[in-house]
Structure formats: C-alpha cells, structure tokens
A and B are shown apart, each in its own frame.
Chain A
Amino acid sequence: MKNLILLAFLVFFSGIVTLRAQDAGDKLIGLWEPSNGKARVKIEKIANKYYGKIVWLREPNDPQTGAPKLDKNNSDESMRSVPLKGYRMLKDFVYANGEWNNGTIYDPESGSTYSCVIKAKDDNTLDIRGFVGVKALGRTDVWKRIQVR
C-alpha cells in the first residue's frame, strides 16, 4: 500500500514538473521584432513545438514589382510564390533546459535555413542564434517583444 501511495505521488509530482516546464516554454509566445526592425514575427505553439511567422514587414512590397514580397530566393522554384507576409521563418523549436532548441530559422534574403537556438534574456528580450553545424559558428540577433494593446 505504501508503495502504491509513493508511486501515485511520484506520477502526480512528475506531471506537475512537466506542466511547469511547458508553461515556462510558453513565454516565447507573442509578437517579436528582430534588431533590424524590418519585420515582426508572431511566435505560436502548435502541438508541443514553437513556430514563428512574419506578420508585418516594414517594406511589404517588392520595389521592382510593386506587388507583395514573395519568397523569391527559395531553392525550390515551385515555392517562390509563397508570400513573405505570413512566412513561417522559425520552425520546430522544443523547450528544454531553459532554452528553445532543435529548431531552424529561415533567412528570406538569402533563401538559407540555419539551425537555431533561442534563449530568453528576460521576458521581453530574446537571443536568437543561427548557426551551421556547431553553435560556435553562428550569429546572434537580439529580438524585442512588441507589446500588443
């Protein structure tokens, strides 16, 4: 009987710990602006992963065509008609050990995708590090939270 109570306690406690970890990860959800101020990215949670898509562009139209900007640098020609506004540039981030990792970041200006890790400096500041292969070979950008009224 004692063992049963102990087991039930452990199951309950581990459930709480898991829920707390998930809640902590959810602080990534919101609207963010990269340091260059060219775009705003809305981060949302789908299933148990985090994704970010461009919801605002400082220059939404292509100066050459006057039409909304498209993903014209995509290596897959068939996907070059995807609009940049609404583009999912952060994908598949999982929260663990105080950071969001295993994800990727897409640079629409080069058409390149990089491995990426996100760390929260505080509730309103993120360090977004894109890298190739190892984290040391990368670049960090600071994103600021946009307060939505």
Chain B
Amino acid sequence: MKVLLSFLLYLLCFCVACTESQTITFKTAPITLVASGPLFEGSNTAQGDFSPNIAAFLQQQGLAPSSLQNATLQKVSLVLPDSLHADLVSEITLQLAADQVDMQKVAVLNPVPAGQTQLTLSVAQEQKKIADLLQQNKMLLVADVNLKKDLEADWQATAVLEFLLTIKK
C-alpha cells in the first residue's frame, strides 16, 4: 500500500513538474491611433490596428507557439504629439477587438491630467480572451476619446501595450 501511495505521489509530482509554467513580457511596437477630423466636442472614436505576430515572438524566445497558455494586459502607455492634443481630452477609454474575438474594454484614464503628453492608463482587472486576441492576424485598438471642444484636424496618439504571457514549459 505504501509503495502504491509513493508511486502516486511521484506521479503527481511528475505531472505538476510537466505542467509548470513561466511568464514573459510581450511589448508591442508603437501603434498609431487616429480619429479623423473634423471632430466635435464629446466622444470621438480613434482607431489603430496591428499584427501581434505572437507566434514569431515566441519562436524568437525559443518557445513553441502552442505553449501560450494565458495572457493579460499589464500596461497601456499613450503618447500624444503635443500638449494641445492632451489638453483637449477629458477622458480616454481603450478597447481591443479582432474579427473573431469580441471587443472588450481594457483600460481607462479619467481624468486625463492637464498638459501631460505621456499617459499611463488604468488597466481592467477583469480580462477575457487576451491570448485569443494575440493569436489573431490583426488586432484592433479602439479608443473613445472625449474632447472638450471641436477640433478641425485629426486627433492622434501612439499606444504601446505590454502583455504578460503565461507559457507552458
């Protein structure tokens, strides 16, 4: 009986060791978000897209694309071209979407601090299907930008997203 229990314990340890995971950070290249002007006071939609190419990133790290278990968005940084663009905005909400994955709200900044061109948004605690989003050919960034007044020109920002990937060893 003792032998059997020891064997089961070893088997359990082996299984746990086999399913051990590690985490790595994946940071996107800067993504340009544009809301085409003329724009009116109130909520406007700025969009940008990018190809996550997560399989290539994992292969560069010596990992199989199929080893991606989970992903969470950790940080969203936005850079505005000048303080004029920053002062126009009262709040920003950011969503991610793809053709095969539903849109989800992932970050917000309310209020946008006056005069600052480098912004860090608060990231959502509840996140779903981020790994699925990263495995799409194209991911869409949609920012709802609340403008304090009308703007004749386009509104632009550059976003960088940082994801924490959980990798099956």
Contact = CB atoms under 8 A, between A and B. Distances in A.
Given A47-B140, A88-B103, A88-B144, A55 B126 contact: no
A44 B45 contact: yes
A43 B38 CA distance: 18
A127 B104 CA distance: 24
Nearest to B103: A91
A53 interface: yes
Given A83-B91, A92-B102, A46 B97 contact: yes
B43 A86 contact: yes
Nearest to B47: A46
Interface string A133-145: 0000000000000
Interface residues of A, number: 26
Contacts of B43: 42, 53-55, 85-86
A45 B102 CA distance: 14
B141 to A, nearest CB: 11
B166 to A, nearest CB: 20
Interface of A: 42, 44, 46-49, 51, 53-55, 70, 75-79, 81-83, 85-88, 91-92, 104
Contacts of A91: 102-103
A83 B146 contact: yes
Given A55-B42, A83-B110, A83-B146, A88 B105 contact: yes
A85 B146 contact: yes
B150 to A, nearest CB: 14
A54 to B, nearest CB: 8
Contacts of B126: 75-76, 78-79
A83 to B, nearest CB: 5
B124 interface: yes
A88 B110 contact: no
Nearest to A54: B43
A44 B43 CA distance: 12
Nearest to A44: B45
A88 B142 CA distance: 11
Residue among B43, B102, B123, B125 facing the most chain A CB atoms (10 A cut-off): B43
B28 interface: no
19 contacts: A42-B43, A47-B140, A49-B97, A49-B103, A53-B43, A53-B45, A53-B144, A70-B110, A76-B126, A78-B124, A79-B124, A82-B108, A83-B93, A83-B110, A86-B42, A88-B95, A92-B97, A92-B102, A92-B103
